[in-house]
Structure 1
Amino acid sequence: MPLKQRLTFTLIMCIGMGSLMSLLGMGLSMGWSPRVFHAFWLSVLPTIAFAFVFNLLIASNIASLLIKLGTHHLTDQLLIRKRTGQIRGWAMILVMCFTMSTRALIMNGTLTHLTLVQFISEFLVSLTLAYIVRGSLVKPIARKLTAPLAVGTH
């Protein structure tokens, strides 16, 4: 994927996932009320900015390292591309979900009050929601919006 397309795709993913997951998380933990929407509007831009910068500087580098480790023994280019996509997809959702859900728990002041089992449970709920939201809504939209940027780059 060309750099312009990758940056646009990443930005769309961060906007979609950051806003939808924040709204879902707040709504599920606080109940659906005007207070939730007020808190959401106050936090959505910093959340998206943090997700975008974290994705570019840390999560993508972790994914690249895992791809390097997971494909170093392969020689078939088709298999390498397939494995790369799988590793990148899982690495990004795991790293981003863990980071963003932990960040939310820290910002709400609830992280220190959770047991390890509660923390793992919270993460698994977040991961399940993120997987559904990413696969059914955000990723298809991001692919559709960035497809024109790939025209003529092959």
Structure 2
Amino acid sequence: MNNRDNNKSTGTQSLTVGEVAEILVDSVGFWTRALGFFELFSVPGVMVHLRRWAFQDVLLVAEPPEEGAAEELRGSPALSLAFACVRNQIDEIAGVCAAESPGCASAPVDTPWNTRDLHVSAPDGVYVVMTAAKPYDPDSAAAHNLAEIGITPPEDHDE
């Protein structure tokens, strides 16, 4: 039994430096295999700089949770991120996530604001939304929802 298991009943974690480094390695594997990032730079066991597309960078830093962290924050995501995708990537990423870490991702969902989203809980506790715009249909419910909040297409929009 490791320190992560020792304190599950109390809701606290006491991680060794080695366990934190292992979590970083696992996280890098998930982010690269399941979410399509690649490694730009790393300081082994300390920090990894990942990139997906231009300006879609993530720094994963190995840092044990602070002592005395608020009880209400335990078990909740430490971070939430959203990344733009091409629409046909959403189902592909969902499949890879299911193979890499079963149960970590929702089924892709269509939103009222005209995107297709995939919600992922990464093994490192980060909540990730992969999002892709859907084609604009001026007669759709999504177009109506957007118009209700003042978002309309340009006057010269091709129908």
Q: So what's the TM-score if we normalise by structure 1?
A: 0.33
Larger CA Rg, structure 1 vs 2: 2
Q: Which has the higher contact order (CA 8 A, sep 6+)?
A: 1
Greater percentage in strand: 2
